[in-house]
Chain A
Amino acid sequence: MNCRSEVLEVSVEGRQVEEAMLAVLHTVLLHRSTGKFHYKKEGTYSIGTVGTQDVDCDFIDFTYVRVSSDELDRALRKVVGEFKDALRNSGGDGLGQMSLEFYQKKKSRWPFSDECIPWEVWTVKVHVVALATEQERQICREKVGEKLCEKIINIVEVMNRHEYLPKMPTQSEVDNVFDTGLRDVQPYLYKISFQITDALGTSVTTTMRRLIKDTLAL
């Protein structure tokens, strides 16, 4: 199976980085999360309910919808905050990217460790611009809002192609497909990483790999 890869690019002001990234990541995860599975006897299961909530951005004229899960929101905010700090400290041209990768675990026989097979990767490339006047900032607020609207439409278009999704797992396999660690929702297994790039697009010495969960204890 080939891994599906989607790339989105945004140009934002420094203070808009967090909200823009959260908007994209939350929109993707909204589509890639289900309610908690409750397995019953005879191999059947029921699914919990996913709530949603609107989030207004402070620095962008934009509102996005996210899954009502504070745990998930905190996890995303943590990594996006780290990305924003890394961008700021890099001192370069303000180029970076975040990758949201959905994967499946494939059990391997001892002594080999489990494989992580990605089936969908979303990459968001960020270009940070510096603006001088308040008027430019105001225009940027609106423009970035419009751009994010386009990105959301792109994401939704990809989601509705109904391409490969992992099969619904049995109870024993559910942890190979879904992240069952959250209390209220169940996203597909995912990991988020980011890179700060220089103008040439290659990673520089500040390449960092951070993982949100301990799912990569390999």
Chain B
Amino acid sequence: METDLNSQDRKDLDKFIKFFALKTVQVIVQARLGEKICTRSSSSPTGSDWFNLAIKDIPEVTHEAKKALAGQLPAVGRSMCVEISLKTSEGDSMELEIWCLEMNEKCDKEIKVSYTVYNRLSLLLKSLLAITRVTPAYRLSRKQGHEFVILYRIYFGEVQLNGLGEGFQTVRVGTVGTPVGTITLSCAYRINLAFMSTRQFERTPPIMGIIIDHFVDRPYPSSSPMHPCNYRTAGEDTGVTYPSVEDSQEVCTTSFSTSPPSQPAALGVGSADLAYPVVFAAGLNATHPHQLMVPGKEGGIALAPNQPTHGAQADQERLALYTPSDGAHCMATPSSSEDTETVSNSSEGRASPHDVLETIFVRKVGAFVNKPINQVTLTSLDIPFAMFAPKNLELEDADPMVNPPESPETESPLQGSLHSDGSSGGSNSNAHDDFVMIDFKPAFSKDDILPMDLGTFYREFQNPPQLSSLSIDIGAQSMAEDLDSLQEKLAVHEKNVREFDAFVETLQ
């Protein structure tokens, strides 16, 4: 593709393409940092703002881009690609987008390099700024944090679209004709995010931080490392000192936190799995062994099976004699895992006899849920709180939150508190005095700072006052009565329809 370019124009064109490639990478990566970008206009030209656009240069990104280019320029068959992918805290990763800067053979010999090509490249960068906010990955990247992070990878060579899944879509950002070929900038993006939807918002422990030397194995020959879309100060990660850009901080504020969040709160968080605190706590939170023994201490109904067949139950039996030193045991249960589902599976494998003890299997409900709590009485003896047993004692097998109890479970202390009105006297005075109540000593807590120590706080937290909506009257009311009163309520509302309409009008 011979051109009539003079040498100056050729040099200029090569420079324009090189810096255009570098600026393209900056725009793409900065758009996936998860923060809003803001740069200032300047009426006086500084001479260092390529294409008359204020695009900051993150030194690390420039370094990676230059490394990928290795002194070459995009040409026919040699494209510069920026791959944006997502990595969850569990280690799953998925490619989201591939941005391609390509060159084809179609030349525009008449075009003026120093003026028209330059201005058109500037326009193309503006289009890139707009388009990077419009693809689905943008909204994902704005939400990155503990559950997932966005990574980028720059490579040079053939475009590889295999990782985008089926049915990916392409958007063309724009083209600029030059005397040596036509530059095309486009983006192929995944639309099938199905893998994300099931896992995205699960409560998972946070990633411990993506540091720059955690390479992801790539199946491709050009295995350049993945990098987080996260600006760090120069020299922090790899020890390489990049030429500093003093005003980078202004734009690329640190994006997501890599430190673990506070541990999940104790019982009552709302997870239905907490209905089996003894079983699950062993795996739930290895650093909070006190969660394991709470049900044995509060509510008064905690009972231990006589024949534990599970490591967790073995510990449960020792609850009565819990001391902080037992914390180590709690953590070392075979089912120890922070995935509650895993733990729930392990509990189903237990086969403890349930005919010996009077225990109540309780399905914990979330706060403010007005639902009768299903109770399964496993013996014919008097059951505490029998008066609150609903009329039907069926298990909801289809309910994933409820596991058919093959073995006795201890009662959630929250259960005790929900019915504390009628049972406050009974909770501590039941006939099953197999346990010795000792002081609750949570591990790693000091009690010399606050007037109330952690243990006291925890106990008080376990017995909140009963919600009025969960009172017996409402619980005992049948569905039919509800339906009856519904008619009256509807009639009243219909009478007041005008007021409601007027109110809605004021809102608009």
Contacts and interface: CB of A to CB of B under 8 A. Distances in A.
Given A56-B36, A63-B36, 7 more contacts: A31-B126, A35-B41, A35-B43, A49-B45, A53-B38, A61-B139, A184-B42
A5 to B, nearest CB: 20
Interface string A182-198: 01110000000000000
Interface stretch (A79-87, A107-115, A155-163): A155-163
Interface string A138-182: 000000000001001101110110100000100000000000000
A184 B123 CA distance: 18
Contact of B133 (A63, A68, A185): A63
Given A50-B52, A156-B173, A159-B123, A30 B41 contact: no
25 contacts: A30-B129, A31-B130, A35-B41, A35-B52, A38-B45, A46-B45, A48-B42, A49-B45, A50-B54, A52-B39, A52-B54, A52-B126, A53-B36, A63-B36, A64-B133, A68-B40, A69-B41, A149-B134, A152-B130, A156-B130, A160-B123, A160-B173, A160-B175, A168-B115, A185-B41
Given A30-B130, A49-B54, A159-B123, A35 B45 contact: yes
A185 B44 CA distance: 10
A152 B134 contact: yes
A92 interface: no
A163 B72 CA distance: 31
A38 to B, nearest CB: 7
B63 to A, nearest CB: 23
Contacts of A48: 41-45, 52
A55 B120 CA distance: 25
Contacts of B175: 160
B131 A159 contact: no
A184 B127 contact: no
B53 interface: yes
A20 interface: no
Interface of B: 36-46, 49, 52-54, 115, 120, 123-124, 126-127, 129-131, 133-135, 138-139, 142, 171-176, 508
Contact of B44 (A38, A156, A168): A38
Instruction: Decide if the interface of chain B is mainly helix, strand, loop or mixed.
Output: mixed
Interface string A51-66: 1111110000101110
Interface residues of A, number: 40
Nearest to A35: B52
A125 interface: no
B223 to A, nearest CB: 32
Contact of B127 (A31, A38, A49, A56): A31
A127 interface: no
B127 to A, nearest CB: 4
A17 interface: no
Contacts of A35: 41-43, 45, 52
Contact of A49 (B42, B124, B126, B173): B42
Given A153-B171, A160-B127, A52 B52 contact: no
